[in-house]
Amino acid sequence: MRWLERVLGSVFFSGYFPLFPATVGSAVTCVAYWFLVPQRPGAQIGIIAIVFFLGLYLSSRLMREWGPDPRRVVVDEALGMLVSLFMLPRTLFLIVAAFLLFRLFDIAKPFPIKRMDGLESGWGIMLDDLLAGVYARLTILVAYSVWIRVR
């Protein structure tokens, strides 16, 4: 069971990458979105919910083994990316834009994302990336609506 927890919590060992494991985990999620995630709202909401609750469990468990906010746990990045990518058309431009915006918000941690980081157990790990994903998603929606009007 511990092996499976490590596999899923590290998003198939992408969290073990020695440099920028969160970025690698985010990129792996983008590839999975492109090839595996159905373009149906219900399916995507279900996947996001599963990743959220599984991530809460896994990050809490792995924190006990690896310490607070361990770098190898990147299931939170998978959640944030899935929220960023929610129902986006599969175009390279939009997926790269979502990736860059998510990483920007995840690293910069504007209000209230930084506050989420301080929450106990897996909640802090998961909620800051969930909010970074929401910020990225909203930024894409605003930029797209402005672009449509200007065009």
* pLDDT 10s digits, 134-150: 999 999 999 988 887 87
Low-confidence ranges of the chain (pLDDT < 50): none
Residue 140 CA to residue 91 CA, distance in Å, equals 13
Assess whether the previous peptide bond of 112 is cis (omega < 30° from 0): yes
Predicted local distance difference test score (pLDDT) of residue 147? 83
Residue 78 CA to residue 40 CA, distance in Å, equals 18
Predicted local distance difference test score (pLDDT) of residue 1? 65
Looking at the structure of the chain, the number of domains it has is: 1
* pLDDT 10s digits, 14-32: 999 999 999 999 999 999 9
In angstroms, what CA-CA distances link 140 with 17, 33, 80? 28, 17, 14
87 phi, psi to nearest 5 deg: 55, 25
| Domain limits for position 100 | 2-150
Residue whose tokens read 């301080």: 118
The amino acid at residue 64 is R
Predicted local distance difference test score (pLDDT) of residue 69? 73
